[in-house]
Amino acid sequence: METYKIAENKIFHAAGRDFIFLAEDNTIFEMDDRIKGILKKPCHAEEFTQEDAFAKLSCPPEEKNELFDELIRSRALVSSKGKSDARRIDFEKMSIQLKTLVLHVTDACNLGCRYCYYGDAGHAASAKAKMSRKVAFRAVDFLMENSVDLKEVVIVFFGGEPLLNLDLIRLIVDYARKKATEKEIRIDFAITTNGTLLNDKVIGFLRENNIGVTISIDGFEKVHDRFRRFPNGAPSYGAILPGLKKLLADKEGKPVVARVTVAGESKYIPEILDHLLSLGFSEAGFAPVTTSDLSYQLSLGEMEHLLSHFKMLSETFIDHAKRDEFYGFTNLVDNLVVLHEGERKDYPCGAGLGLFSVDTKGHLYLCQRLTGEASSCMGDVFSGFDRLLLSRFRQQAFISEKKACTECWVRKICAGGCYHEALVREGGLAEPNMHYCQWIKDWVELGLSVYGRLAVECPGYLEKLSMLRGHEPLMNHSI
Ligand code: SF4
Ligand code: SF4
If we measure between CA atoms, which residue out of 423, 438, 281, 415 comes closest to residue 353? 415
If pLDDT is split at 50, 70 and 90, which confidence band does 38 have? confident
Residue type, 221: E
pLDDT tens, residue by residue, 389-418: 999 999 999 999 999 999 999 999 999 999
Q: Percent of the chain having pLDDT more than 70?
A: 94
- Smallest-distance ligand from the CA of 348: 2
3 state DSSP class of 192: strand
Kindly give, in sequence order, each residue whose CB lies less than 8 Å from that of residue 388, ignoring residues fewer than 6 positions away.
92
Name the pLDDT band for 478 (thresholds 50, 70, 90). very low
Whole-angstrom distance, CA of residue 322 vs CA of residue 468: 17
Report CA(348)–ligand 2 centroid distance (Å).
8
What pLDDT score does 121 carry?
44
More confident residue, 246 or 479: 246
Residue 41, pLDDT > 80, answer no
**Which protein residues are within 6 Å of ligand 1, measured from CB?**
402, 404-405, 408, 410-411, 414, 416-417, 432-434, 437, 440-441
Per-residue pLDDT, averaged over 29-35, amounts to 91
The ligand 1 atom nearest the CA atom of 415: 5
Tell me what pLDDT residue 45 has.
Answer: 65
Average pLDDT, whole number, for the chain?
A: 92
- The larger pLDDT score, comparing residue 116 to residue 313, is at 313
Which of 420, 429, 436 has the most ligand 2 atoms within 8 A of CB, as the residue to mutate? 420
pLDDT for position 183: 97
Pairing between β-strand 77-79 and β-strand 4-6 as defined by DSSP bridges: antiparallel
**pLDDT (tens digit, 9 = 90+) per residue, 247-281?**
999 888 899 999 999 998 889 999 999 999 999 99
Mean pLDDT of the region 95-106 = 96
What's the confidence (pLDDT) of residue 186? Answer: 98
Lowest mean pLDDT among 10-14, 46-50, 352-356: 46-50
Taking the centre of ligand 1 as the mean of its atom positions, its distance from the CA of residue 140, in whole angstroms, is 36
Asked if the model's pLDDT at residue 85 lies above 60, the reply is: no
What pLDDT is stored for residue 335 in this prediction?
A: 97
CA of 368 to the centre of ligand 2 (A): 8
Proportion of the chain above pLDDT 90, given as a percent: 81
Alpha helix ranges (H) inside 84-210 = 133-146, 166-183, 200-208
pLDDT band, residue 475 (cuts 50/70/90): low
Residue nearest to atom 4 of ligand 2 (CA): 367
Q: How many Å lie between the centroid of ligand 2 and the Cα of residue 349?
A: 6
* Protein residues with CB under 6 Å of any ligand 2 atom: 348-349, 351, 367, 369, 418-420
User: pLDDT at position 135, please?
Assistant: 98
Lowest mean pLDDT among 55-59, 187-191, 357-361: 55-59
Q: Mean pLDDT, to the nearest integer, of 87-91?
A: 76
> Does the pLDDT value for residue 424 go beyond 70?
yes
Beta strands in 25-112 (DSSP E): 27-30, 77-79, 100-104
Amino acid identity for residue 364 in this structure: L
Q: Compute the distance from residue 48 Cα to the ligand 2 centre, in Å.
A: 42
Q: Which atom of ligand 1 is nearest to the CA of 402?
A: 6
Residue 479: C-alpha distances to residues 29, 36, 70, 71 (Å): 6, 12, 8, 9
Q: Note the pLDDT tens digit of each residue in 111-125.
A: 998 888 555 444 544
Q: Which of 112-116, 266-270, 291-295, 326-330 has the lowest mean pLDDT?
A: 291-295
Nearest CA to ligand 1 atom 3: 437
Which has the minimum average pLDDT: 20-29, 209-218, 246-255, 355-364? Answer: 246-255
Ligand 2 atom at minimum distance from 368 CA: 4
Long-range Cβ pairs for the range 57-60 (8 Å, 24+): 58/33, 58/34, 59/34
User: How far, in Å, is the centroid of ligand 1 from the Cα of 412?
Assistant: 9
Nearest-atom index, ligand 2, CA of 419? 1
Give the residue whose CA is nearest to atom 5 of ligand 1.
411
Which atom of ligand 2 is found nearest the CA of 367? Answer: 4
Confidence at 315, pLDDT banded by 50, 70, 90: very high
Among the ranges given (232-241, 286-295, 379-388), the one the predictor scored with the smallest mean pLDDT = 286-295
Q: Prior bond to 160 cis, omega within 30?
A: yes
Residue identifier of the C-alpha nearest atom 8 of ligand 2: 418
Distance of CA 406 from the midpoint of ligand 1 (Å): 8
